[in-house]
Structure 1
Amino acid sequence: MPSVDTHDAETRIGTLAQLEQAEAGCTRCPLYKHATQVVPGEGRRRARLMLVGEQPGDKEDIAGRPFVGPAGRLLDAALAEAGIPRASVFLTNAVKHFKFEPRGKRRLHKRPNAGEIEQCRWWLEQERRLVAPAVLVALGATAVRTLLGRPLTISALRGRARETEDGTTLIVTVHPSYLLRIRDADSRAREHEGFIADLRRAWQLAGE
């Protein structure tokens, strides 16, 4: 598939369907070479709340949809607990192709590097332009880096609303995959409650 001249493409991308088609031809970084397919954002066109994760995982790469693996199931449950219909939000990732390390028959997640994050930022900007959310939720450090333009810790930002450079309200929280990795039951329950509280705060700020 031919590469996409993204800067010229902006004037031609007027719908999410057109954006998805353009993303499928992206060669801005090498990740497209090994991924099964691009994984575009998904959700309501004028959603007031947009959740931004890190990158697709193995299940998402195969399905071509965001948040359908174990972390996605946890997110679905958390959204339901927070009183947020998944169909009312827009779900996406900072990086649109799955980065992994082969390990036998398995494909192990690898965190995107700064260059890959920066190259993919353009696509997230187009999603934001088309959806125009009132509130963004950064799920994890990679999303924070993309939305704020520099690496910052979750602990330094969590707990109150921030603003991106263009003035959009931003809530920072953990990625749901982090909750899956917590072994201690008490710690997991405490972090889960904090995650639900962050989602509720974002939903309230979005005016939904």
Structure 2
Amino acid sequence: MPGPGPEGYDAAPFVPEKADLRRLREAAAGCRGCPLYRDATQTVFGTGEPSARVVLVGEQPGDQEDRRGEPFVGPAGGVLKRALAEAGIDPAEAYVTNAVKHFKFERQERGKRRIHKAPGLREISACKPWLASELRLIDPEVVVALGATAGKSLLGPSFRVTQQRGVPLPLPVPDGAGEGGQEGEGAGALVATIHPSAVLRADAAARAEAYAGLVSDLGVAARLLRG
């Protein structure tokens, strides 16, 4: 099995060439492209049909996703499915994945609870070859970047979700060669929005507004799909 890159942060040696989604998923289970695999339960790869017209890209697996091996099966996933339905996108027709495929966390002091920790730029960059391969195989009409990590993986480290959310952007064609690396613009569109977990983190007074904003941004993606 190939080893990691010189700094221990490169998934590219583990990504098989000319593989379909099933083979990619199998190969990703053995990825050692960054140190996150050491503590995570398993790789959490994307789910959905290769014919999906829309791809939803989140940040990384959470605690429940790490244990179950599927993306967006925790509380944030429930928010996302409800928002998609309200926006007019059938969740069953979307391919769902994350920019980073392993759960990054820290242990709560004197407890067993695992606290989410945002992935860094090196981890985002290391995992990009997997996301690039998914997007090349699916060739979606619309990609929705859910939160800052997804946006940075697709558009580069200067991405700011507060500035670029809710408007159609050209979809980069990722080359899988590091943070922000791309071959140019594809035929599809990208729409950025907040991560559904931001709705859950908002206080009671702001939660309804945060959720409405998520639905509104997803509505932009739905209109693009309707043409």
Equivalent residue for 2:40? 35
State the distance in 2 between where 1:194 and 1:174 align: 8
- Report deviation, 1:11: 2.3
Contact kept, 8 Å, 2:198 with 2:210, in 1: the verdict is no
Equivalent residue for 1:190? 209
Deviations 1:26-80 (A, max 9, x none): 1110001110000000112111111100000000000000000010111111112
Contact kept, 8 Å, 1:3 with 1:26, in 2: the verdict is no
Equivalent residue for 2:8? none
Match of 1:113 among 95, 109, 120: 120
Q: Could you state the TM-score of these two structures normalised by the residue count of structure 2?
A: 0.85
Q: Could you state the TM-score of these two structures normalised by the residue count of structure 1?
A: 0.93
More helix by share: 1
Equivalent residue for 2:71? 66
- Report deviation, 1:163: 1.2
Contact kept, 8 Å, 1:52 with 1:143, in 2: the verdict is yes
Within 5 Å, which residues of 2 pair with 1:174-189?
174-185=194-205, 187-189=206-208
Contact kept, 8 Å, 1:139 with 1:176, in 2: the verdict is yes
Equivalent residue for 2:58? 53
Describe the SS at the equivalent of 2:106. Answer: strand
Describe the SS at the equivalent of 1:28. Answer: coil
Percent identity of paired positions between Structure 1 and Structure 2: 49
Equivalent residue for 1:24? 29
Q: Gaps (5+ residues) in structure 2? A: 4-10, 173-184
Match of 1:147 among 150, 154, 166: 154
Provide closer, same or farther for how the CA distance between residues 200 and 128 of structure 1 changes in structure 2, counting only shifts above 3 A: same
Equivalent residue for 2:143? 136
Equivalent residue for 1:158? 165
Contact kept, 8 Å, 2:166 with 2:220, in 1: the verdict is no
State the distance in 2 between where 1:3 and 1:88 align: 35
Contact kept, 8 Å, 1:82 with 1:196, in 2: the verdict is yes
Runs in 1 of length 4+ with deviation above 3 angstroms? 2-10
Equivalent residue for 2:179? none
State the distance in 1 between where 2:143 and 2:18 align: 25
State the distance in 1 between where 2:201 and 2:13 align: 39
- Report deviation, 1:16: 1.1
Residue identity matched to 1:11: E
Provide closer, same or farther for how the CA distance between residues 67 and 194 of structure 1 changes in structure 2, counting only shifts above 3 A: same
Residue identity matched to 2:162: S
Contact kept, 8 Å, 1:144 with 1:151, in 2: the verdict is no
Describe the SS at the equivalent of 1:108. Answer: strand
- Report deviation, 1:7: 5.0
Moved more, 173-182 or 195-204: 195-204
Q: Gaps (5+ residues) in structure 1? A: none
- Report deviation, 1:22: 0.8
Describe the SS at the equivalent of 1:164. Answer: strand
| Superposed CA RMSD | 1.7
